[in-house]
Chain A
């Protein structure tokens, strides 16, 4: 007999009221079920309504701005959550629900120790008051989530812990209530690949140990295969496909799911161009050139020799502690080729990018541009397209400013024409000229940022995590655009990312950075096929492969 589902979401419709504006339908009719002790994944890109769905289950949406349709029901063991009194809801959250968020640093209060914060939730959950018992239980929980030296960690402050440890503490707090359902909203998105792997393993173990259900919210379909038995794919507030993980991931029925699976580069699959998703959420086949990469003896455009950098981390008086962000490093970049730089946070990859772009000056070493080296020949596309465009400038101002600064183009009229030409080249038209950055989507902004770099005819383009902040479908568009531009303009790319699959798609050669040092370098093909350094091996192993858990069939 099929057991009673733990949580049932029926016809959920959530609308945001906005002052002086049309109401926004964030979730429009979502149905799904979470059986006890099962893991269900909610997958979707930004704006798909996945987080809003999670928050409405917890009833944590701001009541003054949101309206949940009268028809909608969220059934917790058969009772409608939406009709619970605030007290009943609090009791439910305290006893049966746990939640972990994307950003563990933001979820922990920086002025209290781990022990105080964990102790508070233990005290509330267990109803115990004695300090010794609370401490005992806190220690138990910390060792359960795999924190070594738990007794010392209790008196540590959040900033003294790494991101992975902070997320472990968050998990400890969530499971302190013995929840029947753990809602995990993008719990590994802010973490490095290797740490992500550890957290995923931990979640899987805890689920089995504590026999709880997990509602796992993510944008990464590859990750879903590692943890979930069932998957719900959402787009624009609607469910487009749901079913057993093994079926959906292996043989997706809906075009959008298929598109999500294929428009993300993977380690195994290397097309010349990525397929993209059109406005209807359907897959568009990849188009573009044959994809033969330039090779042989090409002119060297950029030569970096012995560049290193350290930063002052504690400046008090004359005694200053320095942090070596980058050990001496050297490489060359040939015309039309791409050098990929891979590393986790703190590996010095952004420092390297900024030194090559001329934003930071290196302590030692030099950078030689091998064609009449004007500084404008290296340009940089930043990570966050929301931050890299001046919000008070129009697109026309953004694009003509570098031309003016570099003395290109005769007069304002000609500069504007050049700007339009680049704007059209990246797929926007001149109607964009008088708009401000906030009127564009993330992908469009990144295109504008790329166009701005190209206006000054650079030979080398540095992409520092340039697609990391973008949704998978938009990421595919930007990656394809970069590839097209590279072929057309004979650009050399320095492509920096933490995402190994994306780097593999873009790069001809690869540097692996770890703690400011190059641990391995080589051609992309070789390095991915036969990683020699243990760190590289570990990195590659940690990349989620998107293979469904075939062995797990319990719960249904």
Chain B
């Protein structure tokens, strides 16, 4: 006798059912579309197809945003100060001790003929103080911020899930220890903790940001996953698995984890939103990405000075890009929670 497993016999798992329910919800569908669009953008920037020229000065400084481009949208600026102008300085009979150096420098300058650079007068999204294209910057900034959020949320969720599962499943001493650790960590004001970690790590960078957020943000996941495991470890299906010879590890990761997966997933997307906002705050406060990089937070930081001068475009572009993503992620989280709610599964 052979047993055939053909695909027509397959029936839907709880996950595919949930996905279908998410798709049926218009809010879920739209927000999933928006988030996917952003993720594709991030992928393209990471692959080097978009946003590579964000650091090049391509326009005059503070070039305003315009979508209607006239023919004369360029200005060619002279190629810098001429070196041949002789400086007349009264020397009162002395000879300049630096004269040999000066003449050498002048001769060198004569040999180089800098080409005149042509700058754009307007850009679709405007330019910043250094004449960098805000459109390019926002692409790169989106990549940085979303990437930081994604990786940090992954790290935090991973830490929270593993610790929460161990604490909730094993209970007793393991739980007491992990709970104590959790208690200490959550009793420190959040920003203070973040600054402390930042101060210890002593360097700015995307990696540092991910570490800061990941190491401080797992507490919420821990609390919820722990509660779920406490609930599930005495469920009959877990007892049955134990009676059939499944090890503790197998019960924790193979049996219970898929049943609390919906909690983990919702926590992940909630953390994603939270961390993107945290990244913005940290960069705004100067703890974020270094000047060699750009993120939504550092752009907003620049924008506050520009706004005083009436240059509003960097602020608007960044805010819109951020608000759309954060709102879509939040709505997706809500829709996910509804779609994955086990109470609706029957």
Q: Is the CB of A392 within 8 A of B259?
A: yes
A390 on the interface (CB 8 Å rule)? yes
Complexed CA–CA distance, A353 and B220 (Å): 38
Interface residues of B in 248-267 (CB under 8 A from A): 250, 255, 258-259, 261
Q: Is the CB of A402 within 8 A of B245?
A: yes
Residues of B within 8 A of A402 (CB): 244-245
Residue of B nearest to A390 (CB): B237
Q: Is the CB of A354 within 8 A of B239?
A: yes
Complexed CA–CA distance, A382 and B236 (Å): 7
A332 on the interface (CB 8 Å rule)? no
Q: Is the CB of B246 within 8 A of A405?
A: yes
Complexed CA–CA distance, A380 and B245 (Å): 12
B87 on the interface (CB 8 Å rule)? no
With A390-B259, A413-B3, A420-B3 as contacts: A401 and B13 at CB distance below 8 Å: no
With A388-B236, A388-B240, A405-B245 as contacts: A436 and B11 at CB distance below 8 Å: yes
A538 on the interface (CB 8 Å rule)? no
Q: Is the CB of A436 within 8 A of B13?
A: yes
CB distance from B9 to the nearest CB of A (A): 5
Q: Is the CB of A434 within 8 A of B10?
A: yes
Complexed CA–CA distance, A375 and B240 (Å): 13
Residues of A within 8 A of B245 (CB): 375-376, 402, 405-406, 456
Question: Per a CB cutoff under 8 Å, which of A375, A380, A401, A417 touches B2?
Answer: A417
Residues of A within 8 A of B246 (CB): 401, 405
B243 on the interface (CB 8 Å rule)? yes
A387 on the interface (CB 8 Å rule)? yes
A359 on the interface (CB 8 Å rule)? yes
Complexed CA–CA distance, A456 and B246 (Å): 13
What is the total number of residues of chain B having a CB less than 8 Å from a CB of chain A?
A: 30
With A387-B237, A417-B1, A431-B9 as contacts: A357 and B243 at CB distance below 8 Å: yes
B5 on the interface (CB 8 Å rule)? yes
Q: Is the CB of B11 within 8 A of A434?
A: yes
Residue of B nearest to A358 (CB): B243
CB distance from A530 to the nearest CB of B (A): 37
Q: Is the CB of A379 within 8 A of B11?
A: no
Q: Is the CB of A379 within 8 A of B243?
A: yes
Residue of B nearest to A439 (CB): B11
A416 on the interface (CB 8 Å rule)? yes
Interface residues of A in 383-419 (CB under 8 A from B): 383-384, 387-392, 394, 396, 401-402, 405-406, 413, 416-417
Complexed CA–CA distance, A413 and B5 (Å): 11
Residue of B nearest to A414 (CB): B3
A208 on the interface (CB 8 Å rule)? no
CB distance from B257 to the nearest CB of A (A): 9
A20 on the interface (CB 8 Å rule)? yes
Residues of B within 8 A of A416 (CB): 3, 5
Residues of A within 8 A of B187 (CB): none
Point out which of B9, B236, B243 has the most chain A C-beta atoms below 10 A from its C-beta: B243
A433 on the interface (CB 8 Å rule)? yes
Render A234-256 as a binary contact track against B, CB cut-off 8 A, 1 for contact: 00000000000000000000000
B207 on the interface (CB 8 Å rule)? no
A449 on the interface (CB 8 Å rule)? yes
With A20-B24, A433-B9 as contacts: A387 and B236 at CB distance below 8 Å: yes
Residues of A within 8 A of B199 (CB): none
Complexed CA–CA distance, A417 and B10 (Å): 17
Q: Is the CB of B14 within 8 A of A390?
A: no
CB distance from A430 to the nearest CB of B (A): 6
A219 on the interface (CB 8 Å rule)? no
Complexed CA–CA distance, A500 and B138 (Å): 74
Q: Is the CB of B240 within 8 A of A449?
A: yes
Residues of B within 8 A of A358 (CB): 242-243
A438 on the interface (CB 8 Å rule)? yes
Residues of B within 8 A of A380 (CB): 239-240, 243
CB distance from A393 to the nearest CB of B (A): 8
Complexed CA–CA distance, A388 and B342 (Å): 16
Residue of B nearest to A406 (CB): B245
Residues of B within 8 A of A394 (CB): 13
Q: Is the CB of B346 within 8 A of A379?
A: no
B235 on the interface (CB 8 Å rule)? yes
Residues of A within 8 A of B202 (CB): none
Question: Per a CB cutoff under 8 Å, which of B10, B241, B342, B346 touches A390?
Answer: B241
Interface residues of B in 311-346 (CB under 8 A from A): 342, 345-346
With A379-B244, A401-B244, A417-B2 as contacts: A384 and B236 at CB distance below 8 Å: yes
Complexed CA–CA distance, A196 and B237 (Å): 30
CB distance from B223 to the nearest CB of A (A): 21
Complexed CA–CA distance, A390 and B2 (Å): 26
Can you list 10 A-B contacts (CB < 8 A)? A20-B24, A354-B239, A376-B245, A382-B240, A388-B239, A391-B342, A436-B12, A439-B11, A449-B240, A456-B244
Lowest 7 CB-CB distances: which A-B pairs, in order?
A392-B258, A388-B236, A402-B244, A405-B245, A387-B236, A382-B236, A390-B237
Given A382-B240, A431-B9, 15 new contacts (CB under 8 A): A359-B239, A378-B243, A380-B239, A380-B240, A388-B237, A391-B342, A392-B259, A396-B5, A401-B241, A405-B250, A417-B2, A420-B3, A434-B10, A434-B11, A438-B14
Give chain A's interface residues, CB within 8 Å of chain B. 20, 354, 357-359, 375-376, 378-380, 382-384, 387-392, 394, 396, 401-402, 405-406, 413, 416-417, 420, 430-431, 433-436, 438-439, 449, 452-453, 456
